Amino acid sequence: MAKIKLIDVANLAGVSKSTASQYLNGRFEYMSQHTKDRIAEAVKELDYVPNPIARSLKSDKTKTIGVIVRDITGFDTSRVLRGIDDFCKNGEYNVIIYNTDFDPEVEARSIRALYQLRVDGIIISSSGNNQHLLQDYSENGLPIVEFQLEHDDSNKNIIISDYKQAAFDATEYLIQLGHKHICFLTQNFENVKSRNERYQGFISALAKHNIPLHKNLIQYWHRETGFQNSIKDMLRSPPAPTAIFTQHLAITTDLLTQLNQEGISIPEDISLLGFDDIPMAEFFKVPITVVKQEPYKIGSEAAKLLLAHIHNKTLANKKILVPCSVVKRQSCKLSA
């Protein structure tokens, strides 16, 4: 079946191609109702669909943005995406989503693909491995907003949680319960500014209450290999922790599995506080105390900032911190 073109619509309606184009672009105030009806009937009869790429070449806008995430199934990520999509719908923008599965090469291909599709802008949870590519496209006029992770102090548009303050508040809550030996369970944070901000909040709370930092209480988890040390070794290493503060939902869920397998009870044997809320936590035998982020707000703010830069490319780059809250549940108890 031959592809229907704008000229076919114009010919069937008995109008010029220019008139048909102006009707499809909403510029028909001067047209008679009879002319508008003829064009509408022609569009319907031919089942004509405008070519968005061809239209963008003339208007320099596709009314489409790209979003790149690391794990589309993530609980917080899904809420971020909803915030982005809701805001974009109100602005009559379409959203194209790419999922990278934490693979920097897939991320690079996704960035290039969206650029080639002529999206008006990109929102990305960056791995930090393709900053040069993002910088090149940004300097070439493509608005870009990052979220979730901050990798350096470079000047860019970014929306993130206030990780440092959140970690400080969570640690201080544990200290107020009497915990002095708190295990900080994290991914490697040396080259990721956002993870390091959580660590800085943690040690700031310890310093405020004159609690020494014990290196044995800094423990690591890797997405591919799991915990660096076994759970039993973590709990036996001097000084033995009375509470664990996990820094990611995946770490918390993995830890809960390990504790259950080892027969270690929460909060009788160990108190637990996790970063990121857990889906349906209220149905757990022991609901987990968490640092709750605001992913929907992060998504809507990211979309708002991106669209602002799409409409005005002279705007200065902006960093927005979104506050978190500590949701207190039954997984933390007073320490003797």
Q: Of 250, 229, 249, which Cα lies nearest the Cα of 241?
A: 229
Radius of gyration over every alpha carbon of the chain, rounded to an integer in angstroms: 26
Query: What distances in angstroms separate CA 76 from CA 65, 71, 80, 266, 282, one per listed residue?
Result: 20, 10, 6, 24, 17
Q: Where are the beta strands (DSSP E) in 168-318?
A: 182-186, 218-222, 226-227, 243-246, 271-275, 289-292
Does a structural domain hold residue 83? yes
Per-residue pLDDT, 54: 59
Same-domain pairing of 248 and 217? yes
Query: Cα–Cα distance between 218 and 213 in angstroms, integer?
Result: 9
Q: What is the CATH number of the domain that holds 109?
A: 3.40.50.2300
Burial state string for 211-240 with b = 16 or more CB within 10 A and e = fewer than 16: beebeebebbbeeeeebeeebeebbebeee
Same-domain pairing of 131 and 36? no
* Residue 151 contacts residue 131 (beta carbons within 8 Å): yes
Per-residue pLDDT, 109: 95
Same-domain pairing of 264 and 183? yes
Query: Cα–Cα distance between 85 and 308 in angstroms, integer?
Result: 15
Domain count, the chain: 3
Query: Cα–Cα distance between 247 and 255 in angstroms, integer?
Result: 11
Same-domain pairing of 191 and 255? yes
Residue pLDDT, tens place only, 165-207: 999 999 999 999 999 999 999 998 877 899 999 999 999 999 9
Per-residue pLDDT, 53: 55
Same-domain pairing of 191 and 269? yes
Show the DSSP H helices in 247-294 as ranges.
Answer: 249-262
Query: Cα–Cα distance between 280 and 297 in angstroms, integer?
Result: 20
Question: What residues make up the domain containing 145?
Answer: 62-160+295-322
- Residue type (1 letter), 71: D
Same-domain pairing of 244 and 138? no
Per-residue pLDDT, 78: 94
Regions of the chain short of the pLDDT cut 50: none
Give me 43's structure tokens.
């569009």
Does a structural domain hold residue 328? no
pTM for the predicted model, two decimal places: 0.82
Same-domain pairing of 204 and 146? no
Strand order of the β-sheet with 325-327 is 226-227, 218-222, 182-186, 243-246, 271-275, 289-292, 325-327
Per-residue pLDDT, 188: 87
